C-alpha cells in the first residue's frame, strides 16, 4: 500500500453520502477550509435552509489564515457569494466540534429559536466525526451532513498542501474512537482496513494532529 492508497481508505471512510434535504438551519463548522463557507452558501442559494450559523474561534491550524476567527471569515465569504447578512449568524467561541454544537445550541436558545433539523457543513473528512458528535451532544436535532463532492486529489489541490491534508485525515480518524471513549461522540463502526491504513500513515510520520 502506498501512502496515498492509505489516505484514500481514510477519505472514503469519512464520507457519509447523506441525501440532501431541506432543514431549519445550516451549521457551518469552522476549520482551515474556506470551502465550507462556499458550500454553505451554495446550499442556501438552493433553498436548503433559510439561516446559516457559522461556528468557530481559532485553532493552531487556522489563526494565521483567519486571524479574526473562523466564523467571522466564513460569514464574510458567504456574504461575498450573495448570502444576505440577515441570513447569517456567527458563533465565535467554539474551539472544538462538541462546542460547535453546544454553543450553537445556546445561541439558538438565546435568540428564542428552536430548530428541529440542521444541515451540518464541514470539510469532507470531518463528516463522520461531526455527525457522531452532533448526535451525542444535541440528540434532539435531526442532522444531515453535507460537503463539497470532491476527490481526495482534487481536495489536496484546493488546499495546496498534501502533508497538511494527510495529517488532518489521520487526526480526524483517531478522534472517531478517542472522542467516543471520552463520551464526546457516538461510537462509529470502523473496519479493520481503516484502522490498518491509519496505523501505516502514523508509522510514515503523519502524526501532527494525533492526540
Question: pLDDT of 191-200, one tens digit each?
Answer: 999 999 999 9
CA distance 197 to 145: 24
Question: pLDDT of 25-46, one tens digit each?
Answer: 999 999 999 999 999 999 999 9
- 65 CB-side CA count, 13 A: 16
* pLDDT of the residue at 152: 97
Question: pLDDT of 41-91, one tens digit each?
Answer: 999 999 999 999 999 998 887 888 899 999 999 999 999 999 999 999 999
* pLDDT of the residue at 60: 80
- Whole-prediction pTM: 0.94
Give the CA distances from residue 130 to residues 30, 142, 163, 175, 203, in Å, rounded to whole numbers and listed in that order. 11, 13, 22, 11, 26
Say whether 101 sits in a helix, a strand or coil: helix
* pLDDT of the residue at 63: 84
CA distance 141 to 186: 14
Question: pLDDT of 98-151, one tens digit each?
Answer: 999 999 999 999 999 999 999 999 999 999 999 999 999 999 999 999 999 999
Amino acid at each position: 500500500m502506498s501512502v496515498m492508497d492509505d489516505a484514500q481508505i481514510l477519505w472514503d471512510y469519512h464520507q457519509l453520502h447523506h441525501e440532501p434535504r431541506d432543514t431549519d438551519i445550516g451549521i457551518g463548522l469552522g476549520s482551515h477550509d474556506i470551502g465550507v463557507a462556499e458550500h454553505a452558501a451554495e446550499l442556501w442559494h438552493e433553498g436548503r435552509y433559510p439561516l446559516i450559523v457559522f461556528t468557530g474561534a481559532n485553532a493552531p491550524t487556522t489563526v494565521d489564515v483567519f486571524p479574526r476567527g473562523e466564523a467571522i471569515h466564513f460569514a464574510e465569504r458567504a456574504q461575498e457569494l450573495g448570502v444576505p447578512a440577515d441570513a447569517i449568524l456567527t458563533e465565535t467561541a467554539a474551539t472544538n466540534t462538541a462546542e460547535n454544537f453546544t454553543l450553537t445550541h445556546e445561541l439558538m436558545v438565546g435568540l428564542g429559536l428552536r430548530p428541529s433539523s440542521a444541515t451540518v457543513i464541514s470539510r469532507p473528512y470531518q463528516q463522520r466525526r461531526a455527525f457522531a458528535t452532533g448526535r451525542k451532544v444535541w440528540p434532539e436535532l435531526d442532522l444531515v451532513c453535507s460537503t463539497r463532492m470532491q476527490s481526495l486529489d482534487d481536495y489536496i489541490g484546493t488546499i495546496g498542501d498534501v502533508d497538511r491534508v494527510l495529517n488532518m485525515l489521520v487526526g480526524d480518524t483517531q478522534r472517531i474512537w478517542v472522542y467516543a471513549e471520552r463520551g464526546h461522540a457516538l461510537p462509529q463502526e470502523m473496519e479493520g482496513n481503516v484502522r490498518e491504513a491509519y496505523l501505516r500513515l502514523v508509522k510514515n510520520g503523519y502524526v501532527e494532529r494525533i492526540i
